[in-house]
Amino acid sequence: MLGLDKKDATLLIVVAVLTLCAPFILNPFPTDSAMAQFNAGYPDLMQRFIIFGIFAIGYNILFGLTGYLSFGHAAFLGVGSYSAVWIFKLFSYNVLPAIGLSVVVAAIFSLFIGFVSLRRSGIYFSILTLAFAQMSFALAYSVLSNPKFNLTNGETGLQVYADDPQWFHRDSLPDLPHLFGLSMRSTYTLDVGAWSFDFNAGYYLCAVIMMVVFYLAIRIFRSPFGMMLRAVKSNQQRMNYTGLNTRPYTLAAFVISGMYAGLAGGLMAAMDPLAGAERMQWTASGEVVLMTILGGTGTLIGPILGAGFIKYFENIFSKINDTVLHEWFALLPDGIEDFMVFIVHPFIGKGWHLTLGLLFMLVVIFLPGGLVEGGQRLSRLLKRRGTKAKPEDSEHRPEEKPHVAE
């Protein structure tokens, strides 16, 4: 199907079904029940799942395939957001041209940055991309928002004001991002008994786009181009010795992942028409690295899993507070209850980042292949009872490199 083999086609169909049915799957608890706080099926969060999923899929094409660890991808996301909001300000609230422009601008931007940064590899590459991203952040935050030439609107963030031209805007169209008149915020709520499910136009636009780019990612992974990128990861020097210039390939991978990031930024602006400089900060770049690693670097489904996992738990953990904890541990004797709450307290609410950092360290230390490898290990463990153990999957193991001082 669509030029995919059976396994990939199944994967694509599973992802498609899951994303299309997400409003049901993510809302397993009745609205009024105590467990309703674990529901994730509201439009804003679902959109974030998908958008960060796209971001991570794109990042994985660079990091997962070529092994180049970029610490500056948030810059492309930010650039995408800014260009989308500018389309909203100048032309109309229709999301298609906005998303299109954000991809194009991110591509140009990443072509430039990639051209310079890819001259070096390893740690130098990471630091160069970091430097570029921080530079973009500093520029967006301060310089490009001076009164004479206000491109980014600095600390406030770029947004659409009533006196913006919006040349193609007609009164019949909604005053929010829309797709030919269908507002991105329009939501149909389906009530079934105690449950209620939200079907949001913006979410489905994101979902469709994600399926398209996921399909493209599968094709890239399976193409000769993808093979070439993996070859770069496993031994770039040998590639050079065979007389092959690897830079066009790595640059292409860099630009493709930049375009994915720009697309994610454009979608973010399309869901909520504003763009701020903090989207470009290096912690934001770190976040996408976290998602990719947590899910499983170099695997197809991993980045989406990682993005969903992080965004879900970010949301849930930030909502839990001490009262909720006391309810959970109410069965225990009072002293132990207070003690448990005291232990768990630093990790919830505002402490989410602490949990994230710990989780990230644990994954890097014990499970370098991320959640996907964890799943594989589990299934292998279950299978091993009957059949013989298969050889270890070498793709997800870090290769042993000699110590630099040796």
Partner 1 sequence: MDALLLQILNGLDKGSAYALIALGLTLIFGTLGVVNFAHGALFMIGAFCAVTLQRILNLSFETIDETQKDFLGNPLKVKTPYVESWFGPDLGSSIIDWSVPLAILFAIPVMLFVGYAMERGLIKHFYKRPHADQILVTFGLAIVLQEVVKYFFGANPIQTPEPDMLRGSVDLGVAVGFQANAIIYPIWRLVYFFFSVAIIGGIFSFLQFTTFGMVVRAGMADRETVGLLGINIDRRFTIMFGVAASVAGLAGVMYGPLNPPNYHMGMDFLVLSFVVVVVGGMGSLPGAVLAGFLLGILESFASTTWATTTIPGINQIIIYLVAIIILLTRPRGLMGRKGVMED
First and final C-alpha spacing in the chain = 50
CB of 69 to partner 1, least distance (A): 5
Among 97, 351, 374, 375, binds partner 1 (CB under 8 A): 351
| Position 209 contacts partner 1 (CB under 8 A) | no
| Position 146 contacts partner 1 (CB under 8 A) | yes
Q: Between residue 262 and residue 301, which ones bind partner 1 under the rule CB under 8 A?
A: 282-283, 286, 289, 293
Among 39, 60, 94, 126, binds partner 1 (CB under 8 A): 126
Q: Which residues contact 303 (CB under 8 A, 6 or more apart)?
A: 53, 56, 57, 59, 60, 64, 291, 292, 295, 296
| Position 349 contacts partner 1 (CB under 8 A) | no
* 77 closest CA partner among 91, 50, 95, 59: 59
CA distance 134 to 137: 5
Nearer to partner 1, 29 or 141 (CB): 141
Nearer to partner 1, 195 or 254 (CB): 254
Q: Give the H or E element holding residue 42.
A: none
* Residue 110 and residue 258 in contact, taking contact as beta carbons nearer than 8 Å: yes
| Position 343 contacts partner 1 (CB under 8 A) | no
CB of 64 to partner 1, least distance (A): 11
* 60 closest CA partner among 206, 276, 246, 233: 233
Sign of the C-alpha dihedral, residues 244, 248, 251, 255? Answer: negative
Nearer to partner 1, 142 or 379 (CB): 142
Nearer to partner 1, 132 or 204 (CB): 132
Instruction: Give burial (CB, 10 Å; 0-12/13-18/19+) of 260.
Output: buried
Q: Give the H or E element holding residue 149.
A: strand 149-150
CB of 369 to partner 1, least distance (A): 12
Tell me phi and psi for residue 187, to 5 degrees.
-130, 135
| Position 171 contacts partner 1 (CB under 8 A) | no
Q: Between residue 18 and residue 77, which ones bind partner 1 under the rule CB under 8 A?
A: 67, 69
Tell me phi and psi for residue 179, to 5 degrees.
-115, 100
| Position 405 contacts partner 1 (CB under 8 A) | yes
- Binding-site size, partner 1 (CB under 8 A): 50
Among 1, 14, 116, 343, binds partner 1 (CB under 8 A): 116
The strand pair at 149-150 and 158-159 is best described as unpaired
What does the chain come to in residues? 406
Among 124, 168, 188, 339, binds partner 1 (CB under 8 A): 124
| Position 147 contacts partner 1 (CB under 8 A) | no
Nearer to partner 1, 353 or 383 (CB): 353
Q: Which residues of the shown chain bind partner 1 in the complex (CB under 8 A)?
A: 67, 69, 116, 119-124, 126-128, 130-132, 134-135, 138-139, 141-144, 146, 237, 282-283, 286, 289, 293, 346, 351, 353-354, 356-358, 360-361, 364-365, 368, 398-401, 403-406
